[in-house]
Amino acid sequence: MSPEPCTHTLLQIAGADTLLGPGPPGWVIESVRRVPWVVVRRVQDLAGRIAVGVRGEHRAQRYAAWVEPGAVLDTVTPQGLACSRRWRSSVRRCLIPAIDALEEVEIIMTRHGFAEAWGPTGSVGFELASGYASATAASDLDLALWSDRPPEVIEARPLASALASLAVRTDLLVETPQGAVALAELARGGQLMLRTGSGPRLIAG
């Protein structure tokens, strides 16, 4: 696999002992033992290592670490989840509105010219990749969209409006070569927060 998978990619790792960083708290060890999947963070490369994050049972439980590429057993990208329509085989689709909404999201993205360029992230993406029930009935739907450039305001507004019509709250990040910006900020216009590997910075919209 590539030593530099994109932000949001889900990685299956060999175990908690492959995590590099400050001594992990007990919940991290238990979490990785139960579900050996981590997510790639938006951090600049560190000597060929991959920056990852571990999810816990609670929102406040997030642990930052690194792994060597050789510790990765499998990779799943958000785009891969969308292209394979993984939500259709989810046994919890009828219980989790954010998973069920992906059928409508696919239609919206295709209609706006973004077919195969988007995918679910956050708890929904984690659940679809790992098979672990991490989303809840109240979960928002986090999405990412990959583009060579941020959409113009005139393009962003219709897409944001379409996603806002869904039965669940959505939060979409537009991932570009320079960094990521929130679709809601693009649709609003004006100054933007660009998320980069070296940290966030403000840019003109």
Under the banding of pLDDT at 50, 70 and 90, the label for residue 3 is: very low
Q: How many CB atoms lie within 10 A of CB 29?
A: 17
d(CA 75, CA 79): 12
* Cα distances (Å, whole numbers) of residue 20 to 34, 69, 127: 19, 12, 24
Residue type, 204: A
Q: Which of 45, 74, 142, 171 is labelled catalytic? A: 142
Look at residue 150 in the predicted model and tell me its pLDDT.
Answer: 85
100 flagged as catalytic: no
Q: Which residue has the tokens 């238990």?
A: 30
Q: Which of 17, 74, 100, 140 is labelled catalytic? A: 140
d(CA 37, CA 31): 9
For residue 1, pLDDT over 80 is answered with no
Look at residue 14 in the predicted model and tell me its pLDDT.
Answer: 95
30 and 77 Cβ atoms separated by less than 8 Å: no
Q: What is the pLDDT of residues 145-195, one digit of tens each?
A: 999 988 888 899 999 999 999 999 999 999 999 999 999 999 998 889 999
Angular region, 21: left φ>0, alpha ψ -120 to 50, beta rest:
left
Under the banding of pLDDT at 50, 70 and 90, the label for residue 21 is: confident
148 flagged as catalytic: no
Which domains, ranges and CATH numbers included, belong to the chain? 10-76 (no CATH), 78-203 (3.30.460)
Strands (E), the chain: 10-13, 37-40, 50-55, 62-67, 72-76, 118-120, 141-146, 170-176, 179-182, 192-196, 199-203
State the pairing for strand pair 141-146/170-176: parallel
